[in-house]
Chains A and B, each alone.
Chain A
Amino acid sequence: MVDCHDCFYSDDLISGSLLGKYFIRSDVKIQDVRRSGKTTTVVTTFEGPWIVIDFDKRFKHYTVVKEKEFLDNGKPGGWYSGKKVDKIELEDMRFNRKFVVFSEDGQEAFYLLTPPVMEKIMELEQRTEGRLYLGFIEGKLHIALDNNQNAFEPSLFEPVNDEALERSKAEIDWIKELVMLVDELD
């Protein structure tokens, strides 16, 4: 799924169906090994939940929306290298200030990113901590949140209390919220 990186880990795979939409999510960690002379450093370029949800609206080309601070391999369009993409300037200046959009087809980017969709994405960004990434890829919507966290990892040395359960429940609620959001966007 992600090119041009050296190390890739994932755990806590959850898949299911909600509102007739199939989704799959996992906690993902992506790292680059960078060598400079005798020094080797491992840089984490992404760590957080990654969810892929069925998207009913039909599209043929690759379009990606990401927060400007979102880390990637530094190529235009991000991780899915090898794509010939253009940077797209949408008409909403607030959106352009926060996000950067790359697409293989400008018109299709405008078709997917209607003013209500842009509004929803901005609302989602305000509610979530971390750097947001949305990819419209092969009929599915990828949503990734780079928040340097690994969910569903309670401590082995502490009892499972209400607080730990609430954290896990919040993760599940976030999945539900995203699927419902995608259902609205379709």
Chain B
Amino acid sequence: MIVLGIVLIILNVGIVFYNRLVYCENKVEESLSGIDVSLARRYDLLNNLQETVKGQCTYEKETLLQLVNLRKNMSIEEKSALNQSYEKIQNHWIALSESYPDLKANEGFIQLQKALVECENHIQASRRFYNANVSIYNQKISSFPYVLFASICSLEKKAYFIATEQEKETVKIEVE
């Protein structure tokens, strides 16, 4: 009877610790979806930006850059790289607009720039949220007693979402 009681207590404690780990993992997944939403939004905005620029700068059609959309099952490293490529494309068009006063004054273009700044703020927030959850999760699976469950369930440390150089500082785009 006593042995059964001890086994039940150990089992209960095990379930509690395991559930905490699952909760942390779910938080990481939840925050990852936030990154996906922000990246998809940035893709749409950049597409619109390209269309606007194309309409205004006829000589620049050949320089249209290839935007890669977010795919399912992309790893976090691939998403980081995708975000960095979006930043390069965005900087390219913003720099180009400097040579076209009409474009800079275009209401649609100004609105798109504002939306992109807002979108970058959301990406920064989702990156920080994701990385904070990954940090908690990684610390958990490295510490006792969670490390036992992590080895039994083959749980591994998760990768961080790497910030772009621009995100490490502040958003630099200036909207007039």
Binding site for B on A (CB under 8 A): 89-91, 106-111, 114
Whether B122 is near chain A, meaning CB under 8 Å from some CB there, is: yes
Q: What would 20 more interface pairs be, CB under 8 Å, given A114-B121, A114-B124?
A: A89-B132, A89-B136, A91-B128, A91-B131, A91-B132, A91-B135, A106-B27, A106-B30, A106-B129, A107-B31, A107-B34, A107-B122, A107-B125, A107-B126, A107-B129, A109-B129, A110-B125, A110-B126, A110-B132, A111-B121
Say which size band chain B's interface belongs to: 10 to 19
Are the C-beta atoms of B129 and A110 separated by less than 8 Å?
A: yes
Q: Kindly state the separation between the CA atoms of A101 and B111 in the bound complex, as whole angstroms.
A: 33
Interface of B is mostly: helix
Inter-chain contact A106/B131, CB cutoff 8 Å:
no
Q: Which residue of A lies closest to B38 (CB)?
A: A107
Cβ–Cβ < 8 Å partners of A89 in chain B? 132, 136
- Return B109 CB to nearest CB of chain A, in Å: 22
Question: Closest CB of chain A to B117's CB: distance in Å?
Answer: 12
Whether A106 contacts B121 by the Cβ 8 Å rule is no
Distance of A25 Cα from B125 Cα, bound (Å): 31
- With a CB–CB cut-off of 8 A, which chain A residues contact B34? 107
When distances are taken between beta carbons in the complex, the residues of chain A under 8 Å from B31 are 106-107
Complex CA–CA separation, A109 to B128 (angstroms): 10
Distance in Å: Cβ of A63 to nearest Cβ of chain B: 12
| Residue positions of B touching A, CB distance < 8 A | 27, 30-31, 34, 121-122, 124-126, 128-129, 131-133, 135-136
Chain A residues with Cβ below 8 Å from B121 are 111, 114
Give every chain B residue within 8 A of A111 (Cβ-Cβ). Answer: 121-122, 125
Give 16 A-B contacts (CB < 8 Å), ordered by A residue.
Answer: A89-B132, A89-B136, A90-B132, A91-B128, A106-B30, A106-B129, A107-B31, A107-B34, A107-B126, A109-B129, A110-B126, A110-B128, A110-B129, A110-B132, A111-B121, A111-B122
Closest A-chain residue to B132, C-beta based? A91
In the bound complex, how far is the Cα of B108 from the Cα of A39, in angstroms? 68
The interface residues of chain B lying within 8 Å CB-to-CB of A91 are 128, 131-132, 135
Closest residue of chain A to B125 (Cβ to Cβ) is A111
A89 CA to B134 CA in the complex, in Å?
12
- How long is the Cα–Cα vector from A111 to B118 in the complex, in angstroms? 10
Residue of A89, A90, A108, A111 contacting most chain B CB atoms (<10 Å):
A111
Q: Across the two chains, which residue of chain A brings its CB closest to B122?
A: A111
* Complex CA distance for A56 and B132, rounded to whole angstroms: 26
A-B interface, 9 closest residue pairs, ranked by CB to CB distance from nearest: A111-B125, A110-B125, A110-B129, A107-B34, A107-B129, A110-B128, A107-B126, A106-B129, A91-B132
The minimal Cβ–Cβ distance linking A57 to chain B, given in whole angstroms, is 9
Q: CA separation between A111 and B27, bound complex, in Å? A: 17
Instruction: Give the docked Cα–Cα distance between A107 and B135 (Å).
Output: 15
CB distance from A156 to the nearest CB of B (A): 52
CB distance from B135 to the nearest CB of A (A): 8
Minimum C-beta distance from B29 to chain A (A) = 12
